[in-house]
Amino acid sequence: MSAAGSAAANRSAPLPANRPALGPDRPLTILHITSPAPVGGLERVVQLLAAGHVADGHQVHVVAVLGPGDDARPFLEPLLDAGVTVHPLALAGRAYLDERRRVRALAAALAPDVVHTHGYRPDVLDAPVARAAGVPTLTTVHGFTGGDARNRVYEWLQRRAFQRFDAVVAVSEPLVALLAAGLAWAYSAYRTTTGRQRLRAVAVVSLAYVLAIGGAVAARAVTHTSQPTDTITVGMVQGNVDGVGLEAFGRARSVTNNHMSETVTLMAQARAGLLPVPDFVLWPENSTDIDPILDTETKQVVSTATKIAGVPILVGAVTDGPGAYERQTTALWWDPVTGPGAIYHKRNLVPFGEWIPLRAQLLPLVPMLKLVGAQSVPGNGPGVLSGDVPQHGTTRIGVLICFELAYDQTVREMIQGDASTGGGAQLVTVQSNNATYAGTGQISQQWAITRIRAMETQREILVATTNALSGYIAPDGTVVYETHQRTPASTSVVMPVRNGLTPAMRFGAGIELALVAIAVAALAAAAWRSRPARAAAPAVGQNGTAPSS
């Protein structure tokens, strides 16, 4: 017989027909099939079910579908201890036909009374094998995780497969309600409608699947906006803040000294091989509250720090001006040879923290507002600095200063750039000073906003604060490194240089407006369709009475 003929015979061979009839005293032969993860709720349910069936006197077999490199011991060992017969099916990647063939052969040998599948892969691939041979099939629905486009497609296929099972069991009441509502609505919509209404019902279901799967595909398509053109190692310094208070001039100098001291620690670790040697160093907002350009002592401290580092430092400073009794919150590129260079001034200022609305009117009424100090003046233009990074040349470094994280337009303009910056940010950094909020929920709130910005820009973000939370966040929002509050800390990370734009950064508010417009249109359509029907007016004859039939 040819190989093709043998395969055809295997596919069409019936399961043994001489199984004894079911009865109250005959134990069942139960075959569970799953593709287990190392540990999880699904795996634990299978273990408990199988062990319980064995305790009730049934013959229980569990098939574990395994891919290359899968370690099934954590799943299989408890089953063996419970007296369950296990059948590991080690397969090459995507060997779906081989999987169906081996499940078919195993089911033919065991002649199970029921095949119980768990998870989308056995539901879609293996349960049809049992049904084709006349074996009752049962599935347990353990939940839906969503995830990437491929996973959503699998779950969509799984849902469609449920209607072919003899029984579907859900592990929780919310799942029961979800499945029942979805199946009942779809069945009712199809059976109780005709013509255009039926087409509309089918279109609604199809659109829901397209949006669910298409959304995942679109999200996956922009996971990385571009391949890195370079990598730059950036040092991060969290120098810490001594004591409390808002106005002490001496404390302002101590904060700058703390950051110089922690820079020494960072470079010592890097030169000892404990950390990557940085190409430049990031200091936080307010790492100096005294203008380092005008104040000789502060300028000396910052210059010394850059010479110790041997690379530029992106300093967070408060600079004087542009007018009398005015100031600006500034990101300042400081080169160890040429000194201060490119500057960005914070655009989105904190009211009553950095500036006082209606200052002339409110100061006489609320004298405490004097603690705010000089009136801060917002800057102009995107938060992009062009810095000359040693061994890498001119690089566009994006800067968001603290409160600016909350402003969509500020973030978009930093990523997009303009003619004055020569393009958008290639690296993204955040400078922040949360010292007065230590121990409050503001710290976690701002950290969460930063993670969202990493996801919507699809860029790595390095954060430096005076005393936490500082850290490094990946484009998917994963926290790679995080400091503790009220402590000095430093590290260095290798950051990819990127140039692309996500849809959120390219189209910005247009996407939000489009979604709002769709929602408004849907509400309007629903209101229109649900309006009370007007009673039909009777026809009137020439004499003012209804015509007789």
**Residue entry with tokens 């062990």:** 51
Known catalytic residue: 456?
Answer: no
Closest among 294, 318, 322, 441 to 372, alpha carbons compared: 318
Known catalytic residue: 346?
Answer: yes
The residues facing 428 across adjacent strands are 398, 461
Question: Rounded to an integer, what distance in angstroms lies between the CA atom of residue 62 and that of residue 392?
Answer: 57
Question: Rounded to an integer, what distance in angstroms lies between the CA atom of residue 239 and that of residue 316?
Answer: 12
Question: Rounded to an integer, what distance in angstroms lies between the CA atom of residue 280 and that of residue 278?
Answer: 5
Known catalytic residue: 402?
Answer: yes
Q: Which of 99, 299, 346, 354 is catalytic?
A: 346
Question: Rounded to an integer, what distance in angstroms lies between the CA atom of residue 31 and that of residue 117?
Answer: 8
Structure tokens at 4: 């093709």
Structure tokens at 420: 């004055």
Structure tokens at 165: 């099972």
Q: Which of 354, 402, 404, 456 is catalytic?
A: 402
Amino acid identity for residue 124 in this structure: V
First to last CA, the chain: 81
Closest among 362, 334, 509, 331 to 431, alpha carbons compared: 331
**Residue entry with tokens 């009475």:** 545
Question: Rounded to an integer, what distance in angstroms lies between the CA atom of residue 63 and that of residue 57?
Answer: 19
In DSSP notation, 226-239 reads: S--SEEEEEEEEE-
- In this structure, is the dihedral angle defined by the CA atoms of residues 296, 297, 299 and 303, taken in order, positive or negative? positive
The residues facing 387 across adjacent strands are 395
HSE of 193, CA atoms in CB hemisphere, 13 A: 15
The residues facing 376 across adjacent strands are 327
Question: Rounded to an integer, what distance in angstroms lies between the CA atom of residue 51 and that of residue 421?
Answer: 67
Amino acid identity for residue 526 in this structure: A
Closest among 487, 422, 421, 428 to 452, alpha carbons compared: 428
Closest among 238, 300, 222 to 500, alpha carbons compared: 222
Q: Please, are residues 446 and 454 in contact by the beta-carbon 8 Å criterion?
A: no
- Cis bond upstream, residue 469 (ω within 30): yes
The residues facing 426 across adjacent strands are none
- In this structure, is the dihedral angle defined by the CA atoms of residues 174, 178, 184 and 185, taken in order, positive or negative? positive
Structure tokens at 421: 């910056």
What Rg do the C-alpha atoms of the chain give, in angstroms?
A: 33
Question: Rounded to an integer, what distance in angstroms lies between the CA atom of residue 211 and that of residue 523?
Answer: 19
Point out the residues that are catalytic. 285, 346, 402
